[in-house]
């Protein structure tokens, strides 16, 4: 892999791009320490070292801890650096450099591939949010990973022959990746086929080492006795944006049953009836269970069709806002960014895209507290944001460097408007704009 960045791995793992020139007028850099780095085998071209850090910052009496790290220097300086990534795992006594190769493969394409230009922070944050965590999948009554693997590796189609020995499957898997790269290299865009295959989120190779099934129960999709599925009422519920069990796969299942119907829930994802904020899919299921032979009521078909689009920020603002309207909209975007973070956050706190911190409490009604959160450069936002998931509202009270704004907006209705009022630079303002 061609690299134009440095990768630093330690007890706290840091992947760092070369430092950008200091902006005009900025204070001169100050030397903090001198480190000696020696060649090591963590990664090709890596150099290793150690540094002392306080065990408890602010409490010198607690002593220090020695942090070991590995640094992989940049080798391709043909393009300018664009910021710094700080992923982390482990703690004192935990060897993070043991997973150095995984981090290099995972973050390298995001940081370094020349085709990925512009502001890297949103994409890097998305990867950081989707990576890591524990291995506890919860009570087996709710989910058994062993049962998941047993079903997937026996019943599901794979890229390799499950009747073949594992060594043969590995070769078949590699050949399948090569074939896909030749036929459709953009399958997992913006990542290459190989980059996706090397990520933590894929399950393409999950079954390469699974034991071969006995001849009495060969691997393959289960078939009904007599070769035909039963003539019973069947409801197939598909989320339009489900990338795990796609609508196309739902249509394949529907075609197997004589009396099956498929309902497509617009703008929805995987497992549409759990946590159904729109109260649509869950009503479809309950209605079907109560009367399996009755057609899906028109009102329910309409609600499935009318689930509003998912709001997303097409381009993250990178420059500081200047006008009152720009400031108000950027402040609202900062608050609106938090629910997207909440879905993948189980710690109760987080950091802003460009700095600051936030905390939250609650589930159906989520209360965020912001402290200098910066989604947009040059606009730290503090205060509170209350997200009523069932009521589909966001209510904010936000402190900004130039004043204070408060207001609310509908988080689901298409075309909803946000209205913020308050003072900016000592002047009263009332700003309305398309809800974020």
pTM score over 0.85 = no
Mean of the per-residue pLDDT values for the chain? 80
What are the C-alpha distances in Å from 112 to residues 8, 192, 194, 238? 15, 13, 15, 37
pLDDT of residue 10: 39
Structure tokens at 168: 């043969």
**What average pLDDT does this structure show over 397-416?**
96
pLDDT of residue 17: 28
**What average pLDDT does this structure show over 193-210?**
88
pLDDT of residue 55: 74
Whether 16 shows a pLDDT value over 60: the answer reads no
Whether 90 shows a pLDDT value over 90: the answer reads no
Structure tokens at 406: 């408060």
Choose between 248 and 119: higher pLDDT.
248
pLDDT of residue 284: 94
pLDDT of residue 405: 97
Whether 18 shows a pLDDT value over 70: the answer reads no
Lowest mean pLDDT among 19-28, 122-131, 220-229, 414-423: 19-28
Residue 329 confidence class, pLDDT cut points 50, 70, 90? very high
Identify the H or E element spanning 270. Answer: none
Whether 89 shows a pLDDT value over 50: the answer reads no
d(CA 332, CA 336): 6
pLDDT of residue 86: 42
Q: What is the pLDDT of residues 342-359, one digit of tens each?
A: 987 878 899 999 999 999
**What average pLDDT does this structure show over 59-68?**
76
pLDDT of residue 109: 47
pLDDT of residue 373: 97
pLDDT of residue 121: 78
Give the closest residue to 361 by CA, choosing from 345, 337, 373.
345
Whether 144 shows a pLDDT value over 50: the answer reads yes
Give the closest residue to 432 by CA, choosing from 423, 422, 424, 420.
420
pLDDT of residue 271: 79
Q: What is the pLDDT of residues 388-401, one digit of tens each?
A: 998 999 999 999 99
Q: Which residues of 309-331 are buried (b: 16+ CB within 10 A; e: fewer)?
A: eeeeeeebbeeebeebebbbbbb
Structure tokens at 6: 């440095």
pLDDT of residue 110: 44
Residue 80 confidence class, pLDDT cut points 50, 70, 90? low
**What average pLDDT does this structure show over 27-44?**
64
d(CA 393, CA 405): 17
pLDDT of residue 77: 55
Whether 285 shows a pLDDT value over 60: the answer reads yes
Residue 75 confidence class, pLDDT cut points 50, 70, 90? low
Choose between 183 and 55: higher pLDDT.
183
Q: What percent of the chain has pLDDT over 70?
A: 76
pLDDT of residue 91: 42
pLDDT of residue 78: 57
Choose between 180 and 79: higher pLDDT.
180
pLDDT of residue 38: 83
Q: What percent of the chain has pLDDT over 90?
A: 46
Choose between 43 and 260: higher pLDDT.
260
d(CA 269, CA 311): 14
């Amino acid at each position: 892999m061609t690299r134009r960045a440095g990768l630093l791995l330690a007890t706290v793992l840091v992947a760092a791009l070369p430092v950008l020139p200091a902006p005009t007028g900025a204070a001169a850099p100050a030397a903090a320490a001198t480190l000696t780095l020696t060649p090591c085998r963590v990664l090709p071209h890596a150099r290793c070292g150690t540094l002392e850090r306080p065990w408890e910052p602010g409490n010198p009496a607690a002593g220090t801890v020695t942090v070991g790290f590995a640094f992989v220097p940049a080798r391709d300086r043909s393009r300018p650096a664009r910021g710094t990534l700080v992923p982390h795992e482990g703690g004192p006594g935990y060897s993070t450099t043991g997973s150095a190769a995984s981090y290099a493969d995972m973050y390298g394409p995001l940081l370094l591939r020349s085709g990925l230009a512009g502001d890297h922070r949103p994409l890097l944050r998305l990867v950081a949010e989707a990576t890591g965590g524990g291995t506890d999948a919860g009570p087996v009554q709710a989910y058994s990973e062993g049962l998941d693997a047993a079903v997937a590796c026996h019943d599901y189609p794979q890229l390799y022959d499950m009747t073949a020995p594992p060594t043969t499957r590995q070769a078949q898997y590699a050949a399948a990746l090569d074939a896909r790269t030749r036929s459709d290299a953009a399958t997992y865009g913006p990542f290459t086929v190989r980059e996706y295959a090397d990520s933590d989120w894929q399950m393409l190779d999950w079954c390469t080492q699974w034991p071969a099934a006995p001849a009495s129960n060969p691997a393959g999709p289960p078939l009904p006795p007599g070769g035909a599925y039963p003539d019973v009422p069947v409801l197939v519920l598909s989320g339009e944006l489900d990338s795990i069990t796609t609508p196309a796969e739902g249509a394949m299942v529907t075609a197997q049953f004589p009396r099956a119907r498929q309902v497509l829930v617009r703008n929805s994802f995987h497992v549409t009836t759990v946590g159904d904020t729109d109260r649509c899919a869950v009503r479809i299921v309950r209605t079907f269970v109560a009367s399996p032979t009755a057609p899906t009521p028109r009102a329910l078909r309409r609600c499935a069709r009318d689930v509003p689009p998912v709001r997303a920020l097409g381009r993250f603002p990178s420059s500081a806002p200047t006008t009152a309207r720009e400031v108000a909209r950027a402040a609202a975007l900062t608050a609106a960014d938090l629910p997207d973070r909440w879905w993948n956050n189980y710690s109760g706190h987080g950091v802003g895209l460009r700095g600051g911190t936030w905390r939250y409490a609650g589930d159906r009604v989520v209360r965020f507290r912001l402290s200098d959160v910066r989604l947009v450069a040059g606009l730290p936002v503090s205060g509170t944001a209350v997200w009523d998931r069932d009521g589909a509202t966001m209510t904010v009270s936000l402190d900004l460097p130039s004043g204070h704004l408060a207001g609310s907006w509908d988080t689901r209705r298409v075309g909803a408007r946000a209205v913020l009022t308050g003072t900016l630079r000592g002047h009263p303002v009332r700003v309305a704009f398309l809800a974020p």
